[in-house]
Each structure stands twice: as structure tokens, then as C-alpha cells.
Amino acid sequence: MEIKERIPMREQDPKERVNNFDSVPLGYSADEAVAEAKRCLQCKKPMCEIGCPVRMQVKDIIALIKEEKFEKAFYLAKADNAVPAMTGRVCPQETQCEGKCILEKQGKAINIGKLFAFVADWARRNGVTSKINVEENEKKIAIIGAGPAGITAAVDLRKLGYKVSMFEALHIAGGVLQYGIPPFRLPRDIVDYELSYLKKIGVEIKLNHVVGQNVDFNNIKEEYDAIYISTGAGAPRFLGCDGEKLKGVYSANEFLIRVNLMKAYKFPNWDTPIICGKKVGVIGCGNVALDAARCAKRLGADEVYILYRRTKQYAPARAEEIHHAEEEGIIFKEMVTPCKMTGTEDGWVNGIELIKTEFKGVDKSGRKRPVNIENSEYIFELDTVINALGTRPNRLFLNNVPELETYDWGGIKTDNDYMTNLSGVFAGGDALTGGSTVIEAMGNGRDAAESIHSYIMS
């Protein structure tokens, strides 16, 4: 049987899009979505569903799209996934559902992510909202942190009739979906719309509530029957090398927060500019690094380099993001590792010392291990450096709860049911695992909601 090619996704032209922060993919039309859904073989044993952290019913959703039953498809998607328009856009589908699609062997996997985004966008445009039938109970659950893990736990617990309050440090909910991932990958009208669902189903969101600073954890503990900690892993890791404190050196989190959350990309219409030079180096090659690089390009940098100690085939970033970055002219400088940063007399960064690497053996992750080549150091001139070497949980919250057991790196310890060493206090998402993915954090939120329910019932 001849397997047809994927229906291509229309996208903004790379030359145009480097001048704006609008969505890169333009989305499937209804006809395109139906045509893509028709390629699905509707396997008896749908491999695409195996391992989906939120257990989405991929095969049945696609069958409904194929029959143009978009409303039903949306309800089915929403049953397991509180934010399908967002996960459809940012999930690493190539290593999850699409990677397991039987058609992937021919490189023609069904475009599951874009189909789910289509269905959720269709519902938004047509004012279709999924309603919930709640049998109310009097038990109160507090969720600390309104990112993907907290949002998912909140929705599932609300569906079970609990009174759910979310405590969020920032002035808006969404976690990384708001402050990290740029609008050209995740348009903010879509984020806002999907998050408005929380209020619609009766979740209380307490913004500007920084637990550990203006709210005390013990007060929450007294007032609520159970707590879910989903404070993420927002604290950046640093190299600890010379020159890291020079002006013009950012952590990726700071850079992205200034650009996305504080809207530097809208300057001068917003009062919060950012200094971004003309020759920018970004250390790392995950989604965070590529987001920072693509933002720098859009802010007017002439040359943007990804500085990576492996080759990009081993990079943790999503395949789509690497592809888009290359189209936009981001330069991948592979097999180098930074040693230190150099600066001008008045304290601005003007270069980075790199050492060349070579592969020797394999590391724990199964990827080739890069090792430094002796005496291969050289200075590479740059005027901005962005460090995207990963993150860990923020101490601000953890310091407020010294009795909470954590690993040395800051991750919260839990048992298999996501309960911490404190009875009735559960944890999940990046606060538990360290930097992971949106869908893993959401899966964690779902599983923890089940555990919290069992705990309260018992």
C-alpha cells in the first residue's frame, strides 16, 4: 500500500519571521487536518498511545477528525489533557507519539501534534468549551505553582469535586508556558485561552503569592486537606567560570523572562527593554538554548551561535526547533565547550574561551561522550553570552520548608505515590524530576491527583 506524504504545515517565511514574534506554524485548515487524519492506519494496537504521559486517546481522536467531528474530537482530547493546544505545539512528539507511529519507519508519521493543536484551535474559534459535572465535596486542596504540573493536577482534582486553590508566585499563571517558551512557538492568546479554562471550572488562582516569601507554607498546611507542590525548576545552573559576572552575560531564564514575560520584544511599546548585542553565543543545545537563540535573532542580532559540546544530532532540543533555528540562520558551532568569558576594561563581555572536544566512549544517557582536546583553546569574539546549561529547583520555596526531604541537587523526594516525607504533602513536575518536558510534568500532575484522591478517601 502506498503511504502518502504528510500534509505539510504552512509556516511563516524564515526571512520574514526573524523580524517578528508571531507564530511560525500557521496551523492546518479543516481540509488539511481531515486529509492528514485520513492517512492514519487506525492500528489495532495503537503504538502512538503507548507511553503518552497523560494517556491521550490518540487513535480515536484522529478517527473523529477524519469524520469531521471536530467538537467530539476536542472533548476527547480535553478529557485527558487540560491544554491540548499548547502540548500540540510544544511536545517532543518525535520521541513520543509520533516517534512510535507505525508510519514513522518510512519517515511519514501522522502529524499528531499539529492535529491536536488544530482541534483545540477549532474549539477556541468556535466558542466550544468542555464542561465538567462536579459532585462537590468540602475537602480543600492547595497547589503551589501554576505551571503544567500544577494546572493538570488542579483540573483533575476539580473534576473529582475538590475545592482547589492555586498559589502562584508570578502575576500570571502558566509557569514556563508563559515566562519561558516564546510566543513564536506558543502564541499568548492561546496560552491565555487554555488557562481561562481553570477559572471556568472553578479553580481559584491566587496570583502574586510567593510561598516562602509573602505566604508561609505552614499556614497553607493548616488550612488545606492536602497540598501539591509543583514549583518547577526555575533556578539556573552556572558554569562557575571566570567572567560569568560580566555585563552582557545572561542566564537563559533571565533573558527569556525579560523578553517574554516582561515583553522586551514589544519595546518601545512596553517600557522594559533588553540589551542584546550583534554577535551572540548561546551555551547549550536544548529547547531553552534554541528559544534564547531565536529570540536574540529576532531582537536584531546579526550572528547567533549555538555553542555545543556534542553535534546537534545528540541535542536534547525538539527536532522541529532545530530545523526552524537553522532556517532562521542560527549557526551551530559544534564540538566546543566554554572555559571562561573575557571582558573589556569597563566590564562588558567581549569573548568566550572555547576548547574543542572529541567523542570518546558513551555516557549514561547513551549518547557519545565529548571530552576536551588538550591545548585546543581559542578565544571566540562575542558581545552577548547566554547560558542555557539547565536549571534546578528554586531554594526560595525549599528554604521555607526545611523539614521537606530533598536530594542534594534540590529535587523533592517522594514515594511512588508522589507523597513527600510530610503526610498529605505531594510533589511533582520539574520540582521532582529537574528540567523535563511539559507533557511529563502534566503526566506527573495527573498521577499525583489520583494519589491525592486516594489519600483523602482513605
Ligand X SMILES: Cc1cc2nc3c(=O)[nH]c(=O)nc-3n(C[C@H](O)[C@H](O)[C@H](O)COP(=O)(O)OP(=O)(O)OC[C@H]3O[C@@H](n4cnc5c(N)ncnc54)[C@H](O)[C@@H]3O)c2cc1C
List of residues contacting ligand X (CB under 6 A): 90-92, 144-150, 167-170, 175-176, 180-181, 209-212, 230-232, 234, 256, 287-288, 291, 318, 394, 396-397, 429-431, 435-439, 441
Gap between the Cα atoms of 344 and 185, Å rounded? 35
Q: What is the DSSP string of 27-62?
A: ---HHHHHHHHHT----SS-GGGTT-TT---HHHHH
Give the residue with the Cβ less far from ligand X, 211 or 285. 211
- Min dist CB 350 to ligand X, Å, is 26
Give the residue with the Cβ less far from ligand X, 146 or 283. 146
Contact 282/314 with Cβ under 8 angstroms? no
- Min dist CB 215 to ligand X, Å, is 7
CB contact set of 80 (below 8 Å; sequence gap of 6+): 54, 55, 56, 57, 446
- Min dist CB 73 to ligand X, Å, is 22
Neighbours of 108 (CB within 10 A): 15
The residue number whose beta carbon is nearest to ligand X equals: 147
DSSP assignment, residue 304?
E
Give the residue with the Cβ less far from ligand X, 301 or 412. 412
Give the residue with the Cβ less far from ligand X, 47 or 210. 210
Helix, strand, or coil (residue 151): helix
DSSP assignment, residue 106?
G
- Min dist CB 262 to ligand X, Å, is 14
Give the residue with the Cβ less far from ligand X, 7 or 448. 448
Gap between the Cα atoms of 229 and 88, Å rounded? 25
Give the residue with the Cβ less far from ligand X, 80 or 430. 430
- Min dist CB 252 to ligand X, Å, is 7
- Min dist CB 231 to ligand X, Å, is 4
- Min dist CB 136 to ligand X, Å, is 26
Task: List Cα–Cα distances, 318 to 60, 190, 437, 445, in angstroms.
Answer: 26, 20, 10, 22
- Min dist CB 234 to ligand X, Å, is 5
Give the residue with the Cβ less far from ligand X, 210 or 373. 210
Give the residue with the Cβ less far from ligand X, 37 or 285. 285
Contact 275/282 with Cβ under 8 angstroms? no
The full length of the chain comes to: 458
Query: Cell triple for residue 25?
Result: 506554524
Q: Phi/psi at 433 (nearest 5 deg)?
A: -100, -15
